[in-house]
Amino acid sequence: MTVRPAAPDPRPVLRFGMLGYGFMGKTHSNALKTLPYIFWPGGARTELVTIAGRNEAAVAEAATRYGWRQSTTDWRDVVEDPEIDVFDNVGPDAAHFEPTLAAIAAGKHVVCEKPLASTYAEAARLADAAADAGVRSLTCFNYRFVPAVRLAHDIIASGELGDVYSAHFRYSQEWRTDPTAPLGNPTGALDIIGSHAVDLSRYLISEIDAVSALITSPVTTPERGEPIDTFDAVVSWSGGATGTLGAILIAPGRKNRLSFEINGSKGSLLWDLENLNILRYHQRRGERTEGFTEVIVNEAHHPLVAAWWPSAHVLGWEHSHINMLAHFAEAIVGGGDVAPHAATFADGAAAARVSEAVRRSAAAGGQRVAVAEVV
């Protein structure tokens, strides 16, 4: 028996720097360490160089735990390091704009958690800056990379669903029922989770033309003011479909439910994040047994599945992030496109524009606001 050293990995390497070491820092670190061996032999090798955060002890511990070479309390150390190719910003929402803009100016490819920025104006500036600099950009709308969602996209794009005339997207969680829970972003349900519903609707249907929206803030405290706990909007899309978008952070029993129902002239699609491997599909066949079919989207012929496990060995939430970052890495080293399947900064800005239209509509008592009016 001969013991041989492993051959060197011949693929190009991408060196990452990260801002943020919490929930999403853990998620993206896991993805960056996993994607090279799952998506073999394509894609890229990854090196986790520097992770940044405000708390020196906490970020140092994260570096050791997550496998980063070093840590810092100053994000500028990451942005200004010529060794780093990609800046991954998973820091607090308020820290998205300035560090990411600086990374673009330094010539880094850029990844940023949603919401891309605090305002549409800032988000649009980031999108323009990335385009002008010629760097690749990614807004982390990871649900585009759930295989069942991708299959829904492919069914709609192929025309199998016919003309889409109605759609409903909603994101429901419960954690804000506790008024002492840390909020993180005063825009609450609208940007923290609602931006996912907005983006999925744009990805699956078409651009949003106009909204008529209401916002509520039932759970208030003197210290925290009135963050957005719910929003509901009647929506028209550019392709002619109408429907609703909404999000709620005070839905008891709903841990993490992003769902959609899409109705077309030839059928309907239903999906729910709390059962993310299942796509429910109805086709009008005129048969006595017609009804919704539950498709378990875990076969090798399904999108985004072949690199993973054998048939019916289900995927989870974290796999959407691995799929997303693998796609982004492949686009960088292989020269492919980030869009249309991944969300660029242009998509992040588009979602921010819809959010601003929702705020304006709600402030006007639900008056219809055209998204194009938001500048």
Phi, psi at 214, each rounded to 5°: -130, 145
pLDDT at res. 183: 67
Domain extent listing, the chain = 13-142, 145-315+343-369
- CATH number for 13-142 (one of 2.40.180.10, 3.40.190.10, 3.30.530.20, 3.40.50.720): it is 3.40.50.720
Instruction: List all residues 6 or more positions away from 223 whose beta carbon is below 8 Å from its beta carbon.
Output: none
pLDDT at res. 28: 99
Tokens 């760097």 — which residue?
Answer: 135
Q: What is the average per-residue pLDDT within 340-363?
A: 98
CA distances from 189 to 22, 217, 284, 304, 364 (A): 20, 10, 36, 29, 19
Strands 70-72 and 45-52: parallel
- Is 371 or 175 the better-scoring residue by pLDDT? 371
- 3-class DSSP assignment, residue 264: strand
pLDDT at res. 222: 66
Q: What is the pLDDT of residues 264-284, one digit of tens each?
A: 999 999 999 999 999 999 998
Paired tokens of 362: 């709600």
Judged by average pLDDT, the poorest of 58-62, 215-219, 223-227, 293-297 is 223-227
**Which residue type occupies 364?**
A
Q: What is the pLDDT of residues 217-251, one digit of tens each?
A: 888 776 666 788 999 999 999 999 999 999 999 99
Q: What is the average per-residue pLDDT within 38-66?
A: 97
* CA pair distance 168, 171, nearest whole angstrom: 10
Fold (topology level) of 145-315+343-369? Dihydrodipicolinate Reductase; domain 2 (3.30.360)
Residue 361 · residue 208 · CB < 8 Å: no
pLDDT at res. 335: 93
Question: Is residue 122 over pLDDT 90?
Answer: yes
Sheet with 45-52, strands from edge to edge, namely 70-72, 45-52, 13-19, 86-89, 109-112, 137-139
Residue 28 · residue 90 · CB < 8 Å: yes
Q: What is the pLDDT of residues 303-348, one digit of tens each?
A: 999 999 999 899 999 999 999 999 999 999 999 999 999 999 999 9
pLDDT at res. 224: 65
Q: What is the average per-residue pLDDT within 134-152?
A: 99
Residue 269 · residue 155 · CB < 8 Å: yes
pLDDT at res. 223: 65
Residue 233 · residue 171 · CB < 8 Å: no
Q: What is the average per-residue pLDDT within 167-192?
A: 86
Q: Which of 255, 250, 202, 209 is nearest to 226 (CA)?
A: 250
Q: Which of 149, 241, 251 is nearest to 203 (CA)?
A: 149
pLDDT at res. 11: 96
* CA pair distance 109, 338, nearest whole angstrom: 12
Q: What is the pLDDT of residues 152-162, one digit of tens each?
A: 999 999 999 99
Instruction: List all residues 6 or more positions away from 125 whose beta carbon is below 8 Å from its beta carbon.
Output: 97, 101, 117
Determine how many CB atoms are found less than 10 A away from the CB of residue 364.
12
Same fold, 13-142 and 145-315+343-369: no
pTM of the model: 0.96
CA distances from 31 to 23, 24, 34, 110, 178 (A): 13, 10, 5, 16, 31
- The secondary structure of 121-140 as a DSSP string is HHHHHHHHHHHHHT--EEE-
